[in-house]
Amino acid sequence: MMETLQALMGGFAVALTANNLMLAFLGALLGTAVGVLPGVGPAVTVALLLPLTTKVEPTGALIMFAGIYYGAMYGGSTTSILLNTPGESATIVTAMEGNQMAKRGRAGPALATAAIGSFIAGTLAIVLVTFLAPVVVELALKFGPADYFSLMVLAFTTVSAVLGNSALRGLASLFVGLAIGLVGIEATSGQTRFAFGVPQLMDGIEVVTIAVGLFAVGETLYSASKLQALDETLEKVKGRVWMNAADWKRSWGPWLRGSAIGFPFGCMPAGGAEIPTFLSYAIEKKLSKHPEEFGKGAIEGVAGPEAANNASVTGAMVPLLTLGIPTSATAAILIAAFQQYGLQPGPLLFISSKDLVWGLIASFYIGNVMLVILNLPLVGIWVRLLAIPKPQLYAGILVFATLGVYGMRQSAFDVFLLYGVGLTGFIMRRYDFPVAPVIVGLILGPLAEQQLRRALSISQGDLTVLVTHPISATLLAITAVVLVGPRAWKLLRKNRSS
Partner 1 sequence: MRGPWHQFAVAAGVAAIGVVMLALTPTIEGGAGYAGVSPRFFPVLIGIGLVVIGLGLVVDVWRHGFIGVDEAAEAAMPMDWASFGWISASLIVAGLVIEKGGFVIACTALYVLCARGFNSRRYGLNIVVGLVLSAAIFVAFNYGLGMTLPAGILPIPK
Where along the sequence are the contacts to partner 1 (CB under 8 A)? 51-52, 54-55, 164-166, 168-169, 171-172, 175-176, 178-179, 182, 186, 188-194, 217, 220-221, 224-230, 389-392, 394-396, 398-400, 402-403, 406-407, 410, 412, 415-416, 418-419, 422, 427, 430-432, 445, 449, 452-454, 456-457, 460-461
Give the number of other CB atoms < 10 A from CB of residue 21.
15
State the minimum distance, in angstroms, from the CB of residue 136 to partner 1. 28
Q: Which is nearer to partner 1, 195 or 376 (CB)?
A: 195
Concatenated DSSP letters of 435-449: SHHHHHHHHHHHHHH
Q: Which is nearer to partner 1, 77 or 209 (CB)?
A: 209
CB 371, CB 119: distance < 8 Å: yes
Q: Which is nearer to partner 1, 294 or 400 (CB)?
A: 400
CB 310, CB 118: distance < 8 Å: yes
Cβ neighbours of residue 91 closer than 8 Å, sequence gap 6 or more: 76, 77, 80, 277, 309
Q: Which is nearer to partner 1, 1 or 228 (CB)?
A: 228
Q: Which is nearer to partner 1, 74 or 406 (CB)?
A: 406
State the minimum distance, in angstroms, from the CB of residue 407 to partner 1. 6
State the minimum distance, in angstroms, from the CB of residue 329 to partner 1. 19
State the minimum distance, in angstroms, from the CB of residue 340 to partner 1. 14
State the minimum distance, in angstroms, from the CB of residue 484 to partner 1. 15
State the minimum distance, in angstroms, from the CB of residue 477 to partner 1. 20
Q: Which is nearer to partner 1, 170 or 258 (CB)?
A: 170
CB 158, CB 32: distance < 8 Å: no
Q: Phi and psi dihedrals of 185, rounded to 5?
A: -85, 130
State the minimum distance, in angstroms, from the CB of residue 392 to partner 1. 6
CB 91, CB 387: distance < 8 Å: no
State the minimum distance, in angstroms, from the CB of residue 491 to partner 1. 16
CA angle 397, 400, 404 (to 5 degrees): 135
State the minimum distance, in angstroms, from the CB of residue 173 to partner 1. 9
Report d(CA 115, CA 97) in Å as an integer: 15
Q: Which is nearer to partner 1, 351 or 395 (CB)?
A: 395
Report d(CA 148, CA 156) in Å as an integer: 12
Q: Which is nearer to partner 1, 189 or 497 (CB)?
A: 189
Q: Which is nearer to partner 1, 83 or 121 (CB)?
A: 83
Report d(CA 217, CA 276) in Å as an integer: 29
Classify residue 293 by its DSSP letter: G
Report d(CA 248, CA 303) in Å as an integer: 10
State the minimum distance, in angstroms, from the CB of residue 492 to partner 1. 21
Cβ neighbours of residue 318 closer than 8 Å, sequence gap 6 or more: 129, 132, 133, 136, 266, 267
Give, in order, the Cα–Cα distances in Å from 223 to each of 39, 404, 429: 9, 21, 10
CB 58, CB 341: distance < 8 Å: yes
CB 396, CB 189: distance < 8 Å: no
Report d(CA 433, CA 438) in Å as an integer: 10
Q: Which is nearer to partner 1, 294 or 426 (CB)?
A: 426
